[in-house]
Amino acid sequence: MGSTLFDKIWSAHVVNHIPDGPDQLYIDRHYCHEVTSPQAFAGLRSRGIGVFRPGRTVCSPDHNIPTLNQERPIADPVSRNQVETLERNARDFGLEYYGLCDPRNGIIHVIGPESGLTLPGQTIVCGDSHTSTHGALGSVAFGIGTSEVEMVLASQCIIQPRPKTMRITVKGHLRPGVTAKDLALYIITRMTTGGATGYFVEYAGEAVENLSMEGRLTLCNLSIEMGARGGLVAPDETTFEYVKGRRAAPVGEEWDKALAYWKTLKSDDDAVFDKEESLDAADIEPRITFGTNPGMGMGISECIPAAPEHNPIEAQSYRKALEYMGFREGEKLAGKKVDYVFLGSCTNGRVEDFRAFASVVKGKKKHPDITAWLVPGSHAVEKQIRDEGIDKVLEEAGFELRQPGCSACLAMNDDKIPAGKLAVSTSNRNFEGRQGPGARTVLAGPLVAASVAINGVIPETLDAQ
Per-residue pLDDT of the chain (465 residues; tens, 9 = 90+): 899 999 999 999 999 999 999 999 999 999 999 999 999 999 999 999 999 999 999 999 999 999 999 999 999 999 999 999 999 999 999 999 999 999 999 999 999 999 999 999 999 999 999 999 999 999 999 999 999 999 999 999 999 999 999 999 999 999 999 999 999 999 999 999 999 999 999 999 999 999 999 999 999 999 999 999 999 999 999 999 999 999 999 999 999 999 999 999 999 999 999 999 999 999 999 999 999 999 999 999 999 999 999 999 999 999 999 999 999 999 999 999 999 999 999 999 999 999 999 999 999 999 999 999 999 999 999 999 999 999 999 999 999 999 999 999 999 999 999 999 999 999 999 999 999 999 999 999 999 999 999 999 999 999 644
Sequence-distant (6+) residues with CB within 8 A of 351 are 214, 376, 381, 384, 385, 388, 390
By CB neighbour count within 10 A (0-12 exposed, 13-18 middle, 19+ buried), where does 253 fall? exposed
Output the furthest CA–CA distance in the chain (Å, rounded).
64
pTM for this one?
0.97
pLDDT single digits (tens) 233-255: 999 999 999 999 999 999 999 99
* Three-state secondary structure call for residue 118: coil
Strand order, beta sheet including 157-160: 14-17, 23-26, 157-160
Please state, as a whole number, how many other Cβ atoms lie within 10 Å of the Cβ of residue 168. Answer: 26
Phi and psi for 118 in degrees, rounded to 5? -85, 125
Per-residue DSSP letter, 255? H
> In which element (H, E) is residue 203 found?
strand 199-204
**Burial call 420-440: b when 16+ CB within 10 Å, e when fewer:** ebbbbbbbbbbebbbbbeebb
Walk across the sheet containing 340-343 and list its strands: 371-374, 340-343, 422-425, 440-443
Residues 6+ apart with CB under 8 A from 212: 180, 238, 352
Helix, coil or strand: residue 80: helix
Q: In 47-194, where do the E strands start and end?
A: 57-59, 96-97, 123-126, 140-143, 157-160, 164-171
Report whether 107 contacts 125 (CB < 8 A): no
